[in-house]
Homo-oligomer: A and B are copies of this chain.
């Protein structure tokens, strides 16, 4: 009797798994289900080195970016940052630092990507250069609010971007100030030594340098995993949503 029960118990999970695996996706269209999975794989850093949004997902990404879920995801991420922030000690000796990426972290490129099928088109360096040099990227409101709170609390905020120093220093600096990002410790752009290198390599080197100056990196925020990987990544990482492009 016990043996029979044990046998049934051993078989049960397999039957159960078969049953749930066969159950359809609650009426969710197949493309949408796939694109949601793909987006989650991007956010979890499972999907890497992709060049464009998969063709069947450009409409999905458009809806995601404009339909409210992107803003919801941003707000949820920022809420988590505030929870962490409220549980940490206030800065003391002026060496507690936060690192924030710029593109699609502080400043939004959504207006630009709207004309690029929300990442359905391949990266176009010269078009992006023209756009970024205009210096008209809007702040991401939830990030601006957090940024101001960090500065108020006495953290040293470092803005760290893969944008080229020579090409973009002046437009980026002006854009950030115009959008209310004032009071940060430094705006660090990619200098000649790191041209052509991956963002993670460049950003790791800069973070290492900051740590060697005595800064403690309390938090690190970016929309790309290359902002959040490598050396001296910081005490907590926060990945902001971005299904439109991948920066290696």
Query: Residues on A close to B: CB < 8 A?
Result: 9-10, 12-14, 16-17, 20-21, 23-26, 28, 33-34, 36-41, 43-48, 63, 65-69, 71-73, 75-77, 80-81, 84, 108, 110-111, 134, 136-138, 141, 178, 236-239, 241
- Determine if B138 and A67 form an interchain contact, defined as CB atoms under 8 angstroms apart: no
Q: How far is the CB of A82 from chain B (nearest CB, A)?
A: 12
A134-B9, A138-B17 known; A66 and B23 CB under 8 Å? Answer: yes
Looking at chain A's contact residues, the main secondary structure is helix
Number of copies: 2
A77, B14: Cβ atoms closer than 8 Å: no
The smallest beta-carbon distance between A103 and chain B, in angstroms, is 14
Partner of A13, one of B25, B28, B71, B108: B108
Question: Are A37 and B136 in touch, CB under 8 angstroms?
Answer: no
CB neighbours of A25 from chain B (8 A): 67-69, 72
Nearest Cβ on chain B to A245's Cβ, whole angstroms: 17
Assess the A13–B111 pair: CB atoms within 8 A: yes
Among A34, A67, A75, the one with the most B-chain Cβ atoms within 10 Å of its Cβ is A67
Q: Is the CB of A37 within 8 A of B72?
A: yes
